[in-house]
Structure 1
Amino acid sequence: MPDYPREFEREPALREELTPEQMLRIIFDYTAKIANERNLHNVLVLMANMGREMILADRCTVWLVDYKRGELFTTVAHGVSEIRVPLGSGLVGHSIALGQPLLIEDAYQDPRHNAENDRKTGYRTKSVITVPFVGNDGSIIGAYQAVNKMTKEGVFTQRDLENLSLAASYAGKSLESVMLHEEIVATQKEIIFRMGEIGESRSKETGNHVKRVAEYSRILALGLGLPQEEAEKIRVASPMHDIGKVAIPDAVLKKPGKLTDEEYEIMKTHTTIGYNLLRGSNRELLRTAAHIAHEHHEKWDGTGYPRGLKGEEIHLYGRITAVADVFDALGSDRVYKKAWELERIINLFREERGRHFDPKLVDVFMEQLPRMLEARDRYKDELQE
């Protein structure tokens, strides 16, 4: 069993068995919450709480199988942080190996129980239930493990096993769906970043440029007071800001000198090209990237491109990425210029406050500059031959 910290040594309050109405209410409440949740950690917390409440357990752990590492692990166990154990070890490992639930009235009478953790913590494991989670393809993806019945009798019953199995049947399918969703999101993030690198590589930018712009955008978003989740969305989408450059001719994109008026008009089309590439997606990350690609060259005073938007007509994500992109562009060597010194960059942002850039974002930029510089140092360009 898990190594519980000393602060969890206590005598649990005993409870009465649930009525059918109370059981239904728990099931309805938790299944509704789980169905609407897409964050894996939050789903695991809900699953652990649902299992504990349904069978009146003192503690409930949700274990997942890591087949690549040959381990069982949990980030959600009442009273502990993440635990990893070898696949097949302990009561839960045995249950998963057999693909069958276990109902143990007294763990100390079972040779599979590891009593060492109890001796370390003073926590006395008595009754135990383990129930595997099965995915849609029939493979086992994890298991419930409930410990110590909080009733006068103090032992789990066959009815408890049936109820926890019911919870596992529903939660296992939901868990697999959320894990698949997170895998899809991770894949989207990787694709967005790689596509951003492709766009920048054509203009001889390094992959670290998009990493820096992404990190600057996140710092600015958080400094502006946006939630962590939204700041992360901007961080992931911002590498696509120049994806439209894939369609700009090399003669324009890689020209070392100043562009002619005609060439500049061609260069400006990368914003609408990028927008048109991304706007048809139903994925939120790509829609965010579309706004950024389209509007990161708009200016607060309305003199930017491609549409001459002004002030808050410009999408906030575009305004944020504009600051991040210009900061990195000025501080980096390009085919047409050498990197500016920091003082010169800061002076430019002061001058362009309320002209090129959103005044609030310039203030945030000044406040967050130490973090921006840390990120710049972390993602320095490698010297190339």
Structure 2
Amino acid sequence: SPLDKILSIPGAKEKLSKIELSEIKNACDYDGHLAKSISKAENVILGYYFLTEQEKDAMPDEIVENDPKYRIIVDQFQGITVRKTQNYEKCFPPIKCGHGVETSTEQISVSALTQGFLNIFPDTDGVVRKSYLVMKQGSDLLASFPLQILNAYYKMPGITVETVGKSDECIKNLKVGDFEIPVDLDSSLLINYTRKLDSFPEYSFVDVLDGKVDVKNFQGKIVIVGISDPGLMRDNWITPVSDVTPGFKIHALTVATCIERRFVQKSGYFDALSAFFIFFFGTLITFLVPLFKKPLYSGILATFLFVSYLTVTHLVFKIKLIVLNMTYPLSCIVIVYTAETLRHTGASLKRAIKKIFEKEIALKMLGETQKELSRLVRISDVFCPSSTTIVFDSDRMMEETPVLTWKLILTSLGISSGALILFNNDGSFQIIASTGNLWEKTNLDLIRKRMENDPTPLIINRTSDRQWFSSNEIKNLMAFPVVSEKTFILVALFLNKSVTEFSETDKFTTDDVKLAQTSALQAIIAIQNSKLNVALKQAQLETIFRLAMSIECRDRETGLHVHRVSEYAGVVAEGIQLPEPEVKLIKSSMPLHDIGKIAIPDNILLKPGRLTDQEFEIIKKHPVIGAKVLEGSSSSILQAARIIALYHQERYNGSGYPYGLKEKNIPLYGRIAAVADIFDALASKRSYKEAIDFDKTFEILVSEAGKALDPDLVKVFIDRKEIVLKIYHHYRETPDSSLFDYPAKA
């Protein structure tokens, strides 16, 4: 067979049988044939995964040691020779530890030459920069997949390590035969990403099996067979050169880094060099800045030192692959230059800023904006770890824009209360935006008449003018018309000015009027834009619902299904405490989960009886079709809808479609959608079945926990049964229900 051809190529040095067998028709029936081919080749290295302590399937060491699959791995591997050199009580960072293994079937595993672990560990920022060559399982030290390849490449000379620590927690030295690999104490090797990822030739494994690729392309080469499907999220990683890098390419770069011996290393004097440059830059700037009469010259010096150090570190890395510390020396340049410049100008930081930004409100507005945004938008709302979609609460931002904008204007002017008021010709008025409640204690009718008769600004700084206000809390008042039309007049009203760093008086002045008039016009533009955006967003959401209901028209009696599943999905999302913006996103995206059915023929979609196998295969295409329809959008709603459409038919036990994903490999949005969709399908009437009783539906849902559905999400759904019942009755179909029923929110 073509598989035999690959596995028996003369001169091929190593191969990884990390094969996504779902791409090969009926591959599950050929384990024996695959094992026979691997055994016949005598040069195949397989991969396996260590379970880590964070995973729920992690097992105690004593259980792992008696696991037959683990014993096969240990028996195949000739072992790592350990030489204990020092016996420190503690060392850091330690070798990573395993807690169980995920590997191939015993029939396939036992046929391999040896096996190596495939685990990849990103840094704290999520980027993979290192490859870990050794892990510990109990008292055993086991080699990674790339390290096993190197051992086989050098004709099995054996792997030797020098350990440090009371229980061999760290590695001081790692060798394959006489070949030394520079690793950190945790066995990590910095991967050389200067070699491009696409420098390795790639071939589709299916094409190879079909005989479309000449096997001579593999002769004398290390051949790695791996998964590149982005849908299988477990083995895709972020690297310094790419946002999506398959794990097998990272292993290939690790092997290439070692064979080509182009190791990326920290300088042996890393800390000493950092201290030297910090001292050098600090001393130089401290000595030279006072000698320059103009700040421009000292700025040029600091810029020159900054750019020079960046250039040196870049050249040292490019030529010698040595990493120098950039953070501390560059920070030293900035901090010392700033401190020395301020000290020798003879002015404090406050006076310098006031001199540069005299009568300007930029800094004040920036500070207030930051405070308001921190209230409106939490970091957890902007970057949501529970999903692959970035979620921003634009609805709340747009709704609160009038208040935020108005508050910034008042704060910048040192005003405690105010309002933007629309007076109509019929005597009525509308508050467009306000801060505080002192404006309620003013004589609005008198102010309106004054603005209509005399559009010049009104400034009252005397508390004796009681006709304008009725409260002793009001010390002064300023008002002027922002926009005047035949049918209305828009007035800005300000109360109680205080001294600020940009104004030395607590009285309203003509300067305040000019600044406030400009700011008020900008506020009106911002407020109008926000209201238009809110209206547009609402129109978009209603369009999505209407589109979803038109799709439902084909195989359901009414369009209420999209409302129910949307609300049910929101119940689950709230129950697992997702941020409010993400809950809204899921509810807005859920109606499009079955959009792919638009391409399913009516004779299949509307068939009242049981579908044939061929017809069901066509039905199973609707998630992929829906994802294709929705892909490529910059809208967060459509991005989330694509995930839901693609994965809502996946099942927790792997029996779903289109990919047969299992458990947490199914994206969270897909698992939430499955609970909502299945519950509604059971509890609703269809042309081919009657609705199941509400309580009976919950019993069925419980029985499917851990099978078709995520048990944690089912528990959350059941715990919120009262809310589900309200939604069920609110959107319940009746004989009078029509396709485009659009009831108020539950």
Which TM-score tier does this pair reach, normalised by the shorter chain?
0.7 to 0.9
1:239 alignment partner, one of 587, 591, 615:
591
Distance 1:22 1:201, change over 3 A: same
The correspondence for 1:145, drawn from 493, 509, 512, is: 493
Aligned residues of 2:419 and 2:431 also touching (Cα < 8 A):
no
Count of aligned positions: 349
User: What is the alpha-carbon distance in structure 2 between the residues aligned to residue 203 and residue 94 of structure 1?
Assistant: 65
Please state which structure has a larger fraction of its residues in helix: 1
Partner of 1:58: 416
Secondary structure, in 3 states, of the residue corresponding to 1:304?
Answer: coil
Out of 22, 25, 43, which is 2:401 matched to?
A: 43
Per the TM alignment, residue 128 of structure 1 is displaced from its structure 2 partner at its CA by 2.6
Matches within 5 A, 1:244-323: 244-323=596-675
Counterpart in the other structure of 2:361? 23
Q: Which residue number corresponds to residue 5 of structure 1?
A: none
**Amino acid aligned to 2:482:** P
State the 1:277 CA deviation. 0.9
State the partner residue of 1:103: 458
**Structure 2: how far apart are the matches of 1:170 and 1:315?**
43
Which amino acid is the alignment partner of residue 102 of structure 1? Answer: P
- Comparing 317-326 and 51-60, the one that deviates more: 51-60
TM-superposed deviation, 1:279: 1.1
Q: Output the CA distance in 2 between the equivalents of 1:319 and 1:174.
A: 40
- Please point out which of 129, 134, 144 is paired with 2:479: 129
Partner residue, 1:229: 581
Q: Distance in 2 between matches of 1:273 and 1:98?
A: 65
Tell whether the 8 Å contact from 1:44 to 1:62 is kept in structure 2 after alignment.
no
TM-score by length of 1: 0.78
TM-score (norm 2): 0.42
Matched, 1:156 2:508: yes
Paired residue secondary structure (1:104): strand
Relative contact order (alpha carbons < 8 A, sep ≥ 6): 1 or 2 greater? Answer: 1
Matches within 5 A, 1:334-373: 334-373=686-725
For residues 186-222 of structure 1, give each alpha carbon's deviation from its aligned partner in whole angstroms, at most 9, with x where no partner exists. Answer: 2221111111101111112412111111111111111
1:211-240: CA deviation from partner (whole Å, max 9, x where unpaired) = 111111111111110111110111111011
In structure 1, distance between residues paired with 2:652 and 2:449: 60
Shifted more, 275-284 versus 24-33: the winner is 24-33
> Does structure 2 retain, via aligned residues, the 8 Å contact 1:125–1:147?
yes
- 1:357 match: secondary structure: coil
Cα pair distance change 1:311/1:141, threshold 3 Å: farther
State the shift of 1:155 in Å.
3.8
Residues 139-184 of structure 1 show CA distances to partners (whole Å, capped at 9, x for unaligned) of x996643222235975421111122223224333333333333233
C-alpha change, 1:383 and 1:306, in structure 2 (3 Å) is same
Cα drift, residue 23 of structure 1: 3.3
Q: Taking structure 1 as reference, are residues 155 and 143 closer, same or farther at Cα in structure 2, changes over 3 Å only? A: same
| Cα offset, 1:317, TM superposition | 1.3
Could you say which residue in structure 1 is the equivalent of 2:62?
none
Structure 1 pair 76–149 and aligned structure 2 pair: CA distance change class (3 A): closer
* Alignment check: 8 A CA contact 1:278 1:289 kept: yes
Identity of aligned residues (%): 31
Aligned counterparts, 1:199-238, within 5 A: 199-238=551-590
Aligned to 2:385: none
Is 1:329 the counterpart of 2:667 in the alignment? Answer: no
Q: Is the Cα contact below 8 Å between 2:566 and 2:587 reproduced in 1? A: yes
> Which secondary structure state, in structure 1, belongs to the residue aligned with residue 603 of structure 2?
helix
Cα distance change on mapping 1:353 and 1:90 into 2, 3 Å = farther
Alpha-carbon spacing, 1:98–1:60, altered in 2? closer, same or farther (3 Å): same
Deviates more, 1:300-309 or 1:24-33: 24-33
Deviation (angstroms), 1:30: 4.7
CA contact (8 A) 1:127 1:155 kept: no
Name structure 1 gaps, 5 residues minimum: 1-17, 135-139
